[in-house]
A and B are shown apart, each in its own frame.
Chain A
Amino acid sequence: MLNTAVLKAGARFKSAVCDTQVMVIKAPAGEHLLSCGGSAMIAASSTPPADAKLDPNAAGETLIGKRYVNADESVELLCTKGGKGSLALNGTPLEVKQAKQLPSSD
């Protein structure tokens, strides 16, 4: 598959078409196509291709601090910077994970 990447825990990616940035919390081994706003996400340090544009069909917005998961929650990403594009893994949109209900302990 084109533009696939190994999603190592702790790795950071940014959108090629909007401000969205994510950090991988967990992901299964192997190569995956992680996209945002309809385009493959790129390494946090690289420069986006000039012709990449936000796909209106993938413009559902990604929110800072939210965690995004696939159906079986084998993939979990933390949004570290919000943006207009929505996240997808191998073509399937990711969903917001339910917030934790934890008492503050420190």
Chain B
Amino acid sequence: MNIAMILDMAAEAFGDRVAVVSGDSRYTYAELRVAAQCAAIAVRDSGARYLALLDVNSPAAPVAIFAAAYAGVSYVPLNYRLTRAEINELVDRIAPALLIVNADTRALVDPRADVQLIDRADFLSMPATDTVAPEPAEDPRAVAVQLFTSGTTGKPKAAILRHENLMSYIVGTVEFAAAEEDDAILVTVPPYHIAGISSVLSSTYACRRMVQLENFEAKAWLEACARENVSNAFIVPTMLSRIVEHLGTRGAAELPTLRALAYGGGKMPQSTIERAMQLFPQVDFTNAYGLTETSSTIAVLGPDDHRVAAASGDPAIRRRLASVGKPTAAVEIEVRDEEGRVLGPEEAGLVFVRGGQVSGEYLALGSQLDADGWFPTRDRGYTDAEGFLFLDGRADDVIVRGGENISPGEIEDVLLSHPAVADAAVVAMPDEQWGEVAAAAIVLKAGASVTVAELQERVKQQLRSSRVPQAIVFRDALPYNELGKVLRRVIRQEFVQAASALSA
């Protein structure tokens, strides 16, 4: 078993179909396979243990995923947005390696004998030698992909995905050659994100044309949709917000060929998805929930679920627009309490997942699965009576006030419901009496104003006094990562410093 089989099958069945479009550059599935096999020979001959990528989206990403698989080494895409020091720390952990760079990222890597740098253009034009392409190894336990997770504390963990995990995901959730001849998916997630990997594997197995954008920008995204007759796209919530903002009242006419829009990677504001569904009534929306450690998607809120929820007057059904849907057929999901007891509907706890695609494993740290194969996602959540899963933040973000667990999400929802509030993040702040208390960072809408006391009273009225943020600060903007996840640790750190300054 080897993920190279995914490309072999696509090239065998639809070799002439366009696989990747990036600017003026195009590869058919047959050409993608030749490029990957030629690159695999170079990888094998280099003696590298890893094939790494420090680059934006380009055809080098899919070529490298499969070249590593053919050559029997692990593929490691690195985050080019990290600092120079952070990048070199990661490079040190993967040597000896062959590292694909571009003109900008080459300068970020400190020269060293055991890491060979190769420019993207050279990597993509490896000569077809007389040497026979490596026969892919069939060990299902071999590591196909290694991704460094953005650790909230300490150094990044190296999550590993084995060939059997990724193959289980693809075979379990994608139908081979499911794409129509003219289908195209617009890819904007960066190559170092799990969605960047799963997108290549899913699209290749579906024999779907991939249209790559180097970076997300609403105008360029809309132009690419129109130019390439894009039928599918995956985006993160902030991208959808920007697309909706950019379009204003113009809607479906701007995207005549778009049929399916999948989103994930963070909490989608309900107003944004409602607005998007109004703008694009012809589009099938899918919310996908997944993690790096689970080879991507484990739960899906499908197009029909969206339409039923949006059309319902029943609040219990309507709120499913904020749910991540039901587990895919390839995995099982359980919600458990702190003692490990499986909880019933409407009982909030910790989300666990099990299935062949779940690796739950880090280099050095080993497997995090329990004896029965369950992986603790560290996401909090609950299901409704029909099994729809709702997420309620990360376990690490829970505020423990005098032994009581408080979810930042419910407080944020109340703050966001105030007409003057544009954005809000609630975090734990150290407190002498309670251990931790809630604290909030608020962004006001342009020209709007509200007092701290007014917001505190609102939380007290709608929730209860223990939920009231003891400190509220106003900011011009909240810190987000490039995929639209609010950086709570940065906000938390500010409150920690403020609290220690007070007690000093």
Do A and B actually bind? yes
Interface of A with B (CB < 8 Å)?
10-12, 23, 25, 44, 64-66, 78, 80-82, 99-100, 102-106
Q: Is B13 in contact with chain A by the CB < 8 A criterion? A: yes
Residues A106 and B297 in contact, CB atoms below 8 Å apart: yes
- Secondary structure at chain B's binding surface: helix, strand, loop or mixed? mixed
- Kindly name the residue among A25, A102, A105 whose own CB sees the greatest number of chain B CB atoms within 10 A: A105
Choice from B171, B177, B262 contacting A78 with Cβ under 8 Å: B171
**Residue-by-residue, is B254-298 near A (CB-CB < 8 Å gives 1, otherwise 0)?**
000000101010000000000000000000101010100000110
Q: List 28 A-B contacts (CB under 8 A).
A: A10-B1, A10-B167, A12-B1, A23-B1, A23-B5, A25-B171, A64-B176, A65-B9, A65-B13, A65-B176, A78-B171, A80-B8, A80-B9, A81-B12, A99-B175, A100-B173, A102-B174, A102-B328, A103-B260, A104-B174, A104-B178, A104-B206, A104-B208, A104-B286, A105-B288, A105-B290, A106-B198, A106-B199
Residues B264 and A105 in contact, CB atoms below 8 Å apart: yes
In the complex formed, the residue of B with least CB distance to A99 is: B175
Q: Can you list the 5 inter-chain pairs with the closest CB atoms, starting with the nearest?
A: A65-B176, A105-B288, A10-B1, A103-B286, A10-B140
**Residue-by-residue, is B476-502 near A (CB-CB < 8 Å gives 1, otherwise 0)?**
000000000000000000000000000
Residues B1 and A105 in contact, CB atoms below 8 Å apart: no
How far is A66 from B174 in the complex, measured between Cα atoms in Å?
12
**B173 partner residues in chain A, CB cutoff 8 A:** 100, 102, 105
Choice from A11, A23, A100, A106 contacting B262 with Cβ under 8 Å: A106
Choice from A65, A81, A106 contacting B234 with Cβ under 8 Å: A106
In the complex formed, the residue of B with least CB distance to A100 is: B175
Residues A106 and B296 in contact, CB atoms below 8 Å apart: yes
How far is A33 from B206 in the complex, measured between Cα atoms in Å?
31
**B302 partner residues in chain A, CB cutoff 8 A:** 103
**B208 partner residues in chain A, CB cutoff 8 A:** 104
How far is A78 from B328 in the complex, measured between Cα atoms in Å?
19
**B300 partner residues in chain A, CB cutoff 8 A:** 102-103, 105
How far is A11 from B140 in the complex, measured between Cα atoms in Å?
9
How far is A85 from B252 in the complex, measured between Cα atoms in Å?
48
**Residue-by-residue, is B115-138 near A (CB-CB < 8 Å gives 1, otherwise 0)?**
000000000000000000000001
How far is A12 from B138 in the complex, measured between Cα atoms in Å?
9
In the complex formed, the residue of A with least CB distance to B301 is: A103
Q: Is B195 in contact with chain A by the CB < 8 A criterion? A: yes
How far is A32 from B1 in the complex, measured between Cα atoms in Å?
20
